[in-house]
Structure 1
Amino acid sequence: MEKKPHIKESIKKKPDIKEISKLALSLTESIVNKKVEGITSMNAEDEGWKVNVEVLERIAVPDTQDLLSTYELKLTCDGEITGYKRTTMRKRGDRVTEALE
């Protein structure tokens, strides 16, 4: 006799913030083919997630001259990417002047 799955087992669990952050880092690295430095911001929105990931664009000597970019990723609640764009580029040694909310 075939065992039927419980309702809870058949419902796919949506990824949590930790899983979305890992996914965003992995997706960014594979899309832009560069080393990711980390996530600079992450927000849940009505239709998914907006994640900003900092990427090392170019290594320089001294390292304060490295070029870093921030990419904004849009993900659905299930973790599917719906779009991305580069929003900023700066030298590592430059002062960051983002507005803090």
Structure 2
Amino acid sequence: MNTQEEKGRKAPEKRMDVSSALRCASGQLAELLQCKPGTVSAMKATDDGWCADVEVVELERVPDTMSVMASYRVSLDAGGNLVGYERIRRYARGQIDRR
């Protein structure tokens, strides 16, 4: 490989640690949606970075067990930048999953 090709190549980005990725996922999603950052219920490394499921409060209600919650799947690149998200579930705060 000649030096021209080497200059055009970008070094692979180092993957951030899981705790930093967790904070990035919830913080960036909350900023985009203009809501309180919620908990991260799932987190896994991917080939390109990280994938996280983040729970957020979409509508606050009284009593709080009637608040509307949502789960979002968030994709981050290796550096922790949000590259995509989608809502995968919407539910009342007091609702329990039944499988």
Distance in 1, matches of 2:97 and 2:22, equals: 22
Shift of 1:85: 0.8
Match in the other structure for 1:47: 48
TM-score by length of 2: 0.80
Match in the other structure for 2:7: none
Which segments of structure 1 move beyond 2 Å, counting only runs of 4 or more?
Answer: none
Distance in 1, matches of 2:83 and 2:38, equals: 22
Distance in 1, matches of 2:77 and 2:60, equals: 32
Match in the other structure for 2:4: none
Q: Give identity over the alignment, percent.
A: 29
Shift of 1:14: 3.5
Higher relative contact order (CA 8 A, sep 6+): 2
Match in the other structure for 1:67: 68
RMSD: 1.6
Distance in 2, matches of 1:66 and 1:56, equals: 7
Match in the other structure for 1:96: 97
Distance in 2, matches of 1:30 and 1:82, equals: 14
Distance in 2, matches of 1:77 and 1:97, equals: 34
Query: In structure 2, the residue corresponding to 1:96 is in which secondary structure?
Result: coil
Distance in 2, matches of 1:83 and 1:19, equals: 17
CA contact (8 A) 2:24 2:81 kept: no
Q: Which runs of no fewer than 5 residues in structure 2 stay unpaired?
A: 1-12
